[in-house]
A and B are shown apart, each in its own frame.
Chain A
Amino acid sequence: MIKNFIKNAGWPRIIIALFLLALFITAPFVGVNVFTSFNNTVVRFGMNGIMVLAMIPMVQAGCGLNFGLPLGIIAGLLGATLSIELNTEILAKLAELGEQYKISWLTQEFLTTYREPIGFASAIIIAIPVAAVLGWLYGKLLNRVKGDEMMIATYVGFSSVSFMCIAWLLLPYKHPTMVWGYAGRGLRTTISVEGYWLHVLNDWLALKFEDTVKIGDKVLDVNLAIPTGMLIFFAIIAFIVWIFMRTKTGTAMTAVGSNPEFARASGVNVDKMRTISVVMSTILGAIGIIVYEQSFGFIQLYMGPFYMALPAVASILLGGASVNKATILNVIIGTFLFQGILTMTPTVFNSVFQTDMSEVIRLIVSNGMILYALTRKVRA
């Protein structure tokens, strides 16, 4: 029984899960506030969840792990920056539309009250078509290089990020909060979204507790802020993906991933399914980064998205996915475990060893997990 379980789950996963468990058990004894840590884990889960979700379509369609996630992230960054740049224009246009078509609820008052959610929505609405176009091209490319998708995806991601570095400098953005003050052009490396859509999802329906709990002779402050809105948003997107994977297209996609020859014999257009999966992955990546930013508070440009694919890839693998099979449950478990480790290690290690080993542990855990998955035999 236990042997079977170990075989199914794989050693690395069990070791990492036990490690996390050990961290949570040790935490109270070394003076770490478990409640705060848990809260942070939940917040980080919400921040990263959708980017991990972006792995599912491509894995299912047999395109491998999406190391090209930065491409989707770039679309998201374009959406985010444009939503700030065009914020006033968008609001004015909406007001104009409201007047023109006599939409009773679309008043100036409505626009002022919901300025932030509108900004957030406009970021996503701008990002999706960009992601769709980039994803379509990227999908076409990956169809021509079957068997080498992962390596090429990595370098497509890298080169698009470094290409955008040039673009961020040259694109004619004008908004004073985004461009460098002295030159008057070129976007800054980090842009604050405060005053635009900072925490729009985090604060929506957020549950806040403030209390003290007595454990033994210690009094712990419990200061929880559960980002309900962000979790609901994640749940909605996850549900959409779940439904999609059960539609005719979704099933065909899974068939392509499981056995392309068989899928082709039953009349499925393999290349088309693969392209759709890549487009979906890219769009999810774009939405994912915008959700991440509204919680984080900053848009990170230039080399910011460079290594963002690795944590997402590691998360889904940690959750039990393999190179060609992934489910929503894998995403949820994996993101929770991975983000749990990221939040717990710095605090616990800091208290025990007075040093922060979290970076090293993150490197070893995430890449060890990816290595493990890559060296598994896959049924051909």
Chain B
Amino acid sequence: MIRKLFDIIANNAVPAVFIIISAFAIPLSGFSASYLVQELLTRIGRNSFLILSLLIPIMAGMGLNFGMVLGAMAGQIGLLLICDWGIVGIPGMVLACLIGTPIAIVLGIFCGHILNRAKGREMVTSYILGFFINGVYQMVVLYLMGWIIPITNPNLLLSRGYGVRNAVSLSGIRAVLDNLIPTIITNPEGAKQFLNINGSGSFLLLQLPFFDGAIRLPLATFIIIALFCVFIIWFRKTKLGQDMRAIGQSQSVADSAGIPVNRTRIIAIVISTVLACYGQIIYLQNMGTLNTYNSHDQAGMFSIAALLIGGASVSKATITNVFVGVVLFHLMFIVAPMAGKNLIGEAQIGEYFRVFVSYGIIAIALVLHAWKRNREREAARRSLRGNKGGNA
């Protein structure tokens, strides 16, 4: 019983620590509850899809897919093109996804083949692959766009005539998905005021008594995320999903059971890359600006950190982990700079603190995973030797 309790705490140590940090940091930051809820809802809508894209490779035993930045880059290329063509609104987003998909598939297949050659060190390889493809991406965007790939919109191009600017405004598709079904949550009092100002009809009003303030809910984004969660649950039960789980357990056993290991692993990475592409498009439609040369880098790191903070490990991650992680990570993200400012008088400290936490948490999760795996391996060997408790 006590042992079980201990296990539960040990397994959820990371989220627990974050809850404690937040419990101290939230009052220090001095933000109001409705501000925090609003920010969190926005960020859940913005980031969840990207984080969910990490789940399938974990299921297939390939660890955290640092190569998801490949998908993010594919999505950004799609967005750059629709910006140039001036296609706005939902059609623009869909078109960006359509352009991004084939690029993401090609990159995913490439990534899958590379990772099959580096079994046992998929993570570091996919991580370096991210940098490598980043170089290719920069080459395409900075030199080929406007030169070989026609870009006509002068607002996109650098003054020298080719290469895309560092910051691109996505005003055409800004928040189009978030505001597809405009929804406001407020109390009955606020609802009345709101109707007086805006008239009725164009908004979905959700009324919660005792709720302070008014909050926008990106309902359409949430619906898409929910559909995607259903997809993942369904996918786990399909033949392909079961194959992946078998490979995740043991490649050699899966192989002797007649599962095409390498092919299935490639499929897992392709799915993840394509989903990361869509995730990045959703993320950027919410942000409204594209940092051509940085957006994708941050996408990878923040998504992985959030998933791990949610209690996932390198070998096991659930949908719950995703949402717990996104809430806790972004809660810290929102409050840390203000808390740092109010505590030490310097916002910069909070800024550095959250960067430190993002990296530190990934380091700790990786260490714990490797440690546990090595101990299990050692225990297995010992039991084979029939020498329990001995140490050589």
Contacts and interface: CB of A to CB of B under 8 A. Distances in A.
A162 B355 contact: yes
Q: How large is the interface on A (under 10, 10 to 19, 20 to 34, 35 or more residues)?
A: 35 or more
Contacts of A374: 118, 121, 124-125, 128
B131 A310 contact: yes
A169 interface: yes
Main secondary structure of the interface of A (DSSP, over half): helix
Interface string A359-380: 1111110011011001100000
B131 A162 contact: no
Contacts of B362: 155, 158-159
Given A150-B121, A169-B352, A371 B367 contact: no
B342 interface: no
A145 B121 contact: no
Interface stretch (B6-14, B133-141, B263-271): B133-141
Nearest to B123: A151
B135 A363 contact: yes
Contacts, number: 116
Contacts of B128: 367, 370-371, 374
A374 B122 CA distance: 9
A310 B139 CA distance: 19
A218 interface: no
A242 interface: no
B121 A360 contact: no
Contacts of A151: 121, 123-124, 127, 366
B374 A144 contact: yes
Interface string A143-174: 01111101110111011001101100110000
Contacts of B160: 355
A169 B349 contact: yes
Nearest to A167: B352
A371 B115 CA distance: 10
A369 B108 CA distance: 20
Contact of A364 (B135, B352, B366, B374): B135
Interface string B364-378: 001101110110000
A147 B118 CA distance: 12
Contacts of A145: 366-367, 370-371, 374
Contacts of B138: 359-360, 363
Interface in A338-363: 355, 357, 359-363
A235 interface: no
Contacts of B129: 367, 371
Contacts of B346: 169, 186
Nearest to B135: A363
A86 interface: no
B6 to A, nearest CB: 21
Interface in A155-197: 155-156, 158-159, 162-163, 165-166, 169-170, 186
Interface string B103-116: 00000000000100
A159 B360 contact: yes
Nearest 4 CB-CB pairs, A to B? A363-B135, A145-B370, A155-B363, A364-B135
Given A159-B356, A166-B353, A169-B348, 13 more contacts: A145-B366, A150-B124, A151-B123, A151-B124, A154-B124, A155-B360, A162-B355, A357-B143, A360-B139, A364-B132, A364-B136, A368-B135, A375-B125
Interface of B: 114, 117-118, 120-121, 123-125, 127-129, 131-132, 134-136, 138-139, 142-143, 160, 344, 346, 348-349, 352-353, 355-356, 358-360, 362-363, 366-367, 369-371, 373-374
Interface of A: 67, 141, 144-148, 150-152, 154-156, 158-159, 162-163, 165-166, 169-170, 186, 310, 355, 357, 359-364, 367-368, 370-371, 374-375
13 contacts: A147-B120, A151-B127, A155-B360, A155-B363, A156-B363, A158-B362, A162-B352, A163-B356, A186-B346, A364-B139, A368-B135, A374-B125, A375-B114
